[in-house]
């Protein structure tokens, strides 16, 4: 296996990590706000806050890790994506800024305020939309070269059905992933009303998620035939993904083994995400940029991979400790331990 492939696998894995943890975060913010406006706040807020508080900062690091890594391994992406993504990514950064800081202000500082909760929830919906634009653009057809510089065609982007399908998918997937996770978390906390409510949300959002996911593959046939062909060549990955989806929904429906349901969901998204990634190979930006012509020099690639391995040796035990202390600690999850700040 060559260094280019290792590099992109590393980055793709971190992006996957971000998508899962950020979905839980974004969705939780939305459900929290929705709960406040439908007077179900007492059911959900405690569960959501207890999960989010120790991890909100870590969630953000996954994103930083991904974008620093991609510029490191593939410096040309800075040139193509940097120039064209100024507006959508800046908007995403501003939303992230408002979101992250208000979370801290709210949790550790001021009393809760309806308006903030609303903004927090709303930004959780706008963010996946702003970030998923990158995925749409990578399919090609929206960037053209003018005077030697890449320019983004906003008109084409906004008129494309592909754009909107990806936005809808990102939204419903966020809510679905988040609801399934929180169902499991609430169940561990022995919080029956929260479990029931979140289970209902999970079942509601399952359907649009799978329908749009299927629809996007169909639309790619017209937008990027090359990519569509390659997706068909790894059809089995998408089949496994679909079976895992059915497994999750079935378990939720039968009200049992929420932990297994969540791991099936991770598997479902992993197969779909890696299947999508493999079929996108070798393009980073169709058809301008492949992973081969944008790859950094060998010396840098090697040192990045060494740094990466050393860093992971430090991070994995630390992350494990974090999960053990909070996510898998019964007393903490149930709110039994003392917390004074």
Using CB under 8 A, which residues numbered 77 to 116 contact another protein? Answer: 77-87, 89-91, 93-94, 96-98, 100-105, 108-110
Please list every residue from 272 through 311 that binds another protein, using CB under 8 A.
296-297, 299-300, 303-304, 307-308, 311
Nearest distance in Å: CB 256, another protein: 31
- Which residue in the set 13, 45, 49, 60 belongs to the binding site for another protein (CB under 8 A)? 60
225: Cα within 13 Å, side-chain hemisphere: 1
Nearer to another protein by C-beta: 103 or 262?
103
Closest separation between CB of residue 336 and another protein, Å? Answer: 11
Q: CA dihedral in degrees (102, 107, 111, 114; nearest 10)?
A: 50
240 binds another protein (CB under 8 A): no
The dihedrals phi and psi of 340, each to the nearest 5 degrees, come to -125, 120
Residue whose CB is less far from another protein, 1 or 314: 314
Q: At its nearest, how many Å lie between another protein and the CB of residue 250?
A: 35
Nearest-approach distance from CB 50 to another protein, in angstroms: 10
8 A C-beta contact, residue 17 and residue 105: no
- Specify burial of residue 4 (Cβ count, 10 A radius: 0-12, 13-18, 19+): buried
Nearer to another protein, 80 or 176 (CB): 80
Contact indicator for 139, 224 with CB cutoff of 8 Å = yes
As a whole number of angstroms, the distance between CA 129 and CA 49 comes to 24
Q: How many residues comprise the chain?
A: 341
What part of residues 128-187 is at the interface with another protein (CB under 8 A)?
Answer: 147-149
Determine the interface stretch with another protein among 20-28, 60-68, 158-166, 203-211 (rule: CB under 8 A).
60-68
Residue 29 contacts residue 45 (beta carbons within 8 Å):
no
């Amino acid at each position: 296996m060559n260094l280019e492939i290792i590099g992109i696998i590393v980055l793709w894995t971190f992006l996957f990590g971000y998508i899962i943890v950020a979905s839980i975060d974004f969705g939780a913010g939305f459900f929290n706000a929705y709960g406040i406006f439908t007077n179900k706040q007492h059911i959900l807020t405690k569960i959501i806050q207890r999960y989010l508080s120790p991890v909100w900062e870590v969630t953000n690091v996954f994103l930083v890790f991904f974008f620093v890594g991609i510029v490191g391994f593939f410096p040309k992406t800075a040139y193509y994506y940097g120039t064209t993504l100024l507006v959508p990514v800046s908007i995403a950064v501003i939303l992230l800024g408002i979101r992250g800081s208000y979370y801290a202000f709210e949790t550790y500082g001021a009393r809760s305020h309806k308006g903030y909760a609303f903004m927090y929830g709303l930004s959780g919906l706008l963010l996946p939309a702003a970030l998923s634009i990158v995925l749409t653009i990578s399919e090609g057809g929206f960037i053209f070269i003018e005077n030697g510089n890449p320019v983004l065609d906003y008109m084409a982007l906004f008129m494309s059905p592909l754009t909107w399908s990806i936005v809808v998918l990102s939204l419903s997937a966020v809510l679905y992933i988040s609801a399934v996770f929180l169902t499991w978390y609430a169940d561990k906390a022995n919080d029956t009303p929260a479990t029931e409510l979140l289970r209902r949300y999970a079942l509601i959002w399952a359907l649009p998620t799978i329908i749009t996911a299927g629809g996007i593959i169909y639309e790619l046939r017209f937008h990027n035939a090359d990519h569509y062909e390659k997706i068909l060549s790894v059809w089995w990955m998408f089949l496994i993904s679909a079976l895992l989806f059915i497994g999750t929904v079935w378990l939720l429906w039968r009200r049992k083994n929420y932990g297994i349901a969540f791991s099936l969901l991770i598997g479902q998204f992993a197969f779909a995400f890696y299947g999508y990634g493999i079929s996108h190979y070798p393009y980073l930006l169709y058809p301008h940029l492949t992973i081969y012509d944008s790859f950094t020099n060998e010396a840098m690639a090697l040192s990045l991979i060494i740094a990466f391995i050393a860093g992971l040796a430090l991070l994995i035990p630390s992350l494990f400790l974090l999960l053990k202390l909070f996510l898998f600690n019964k007393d903490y999850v149930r709110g039994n331990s003392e917390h004074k700040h």
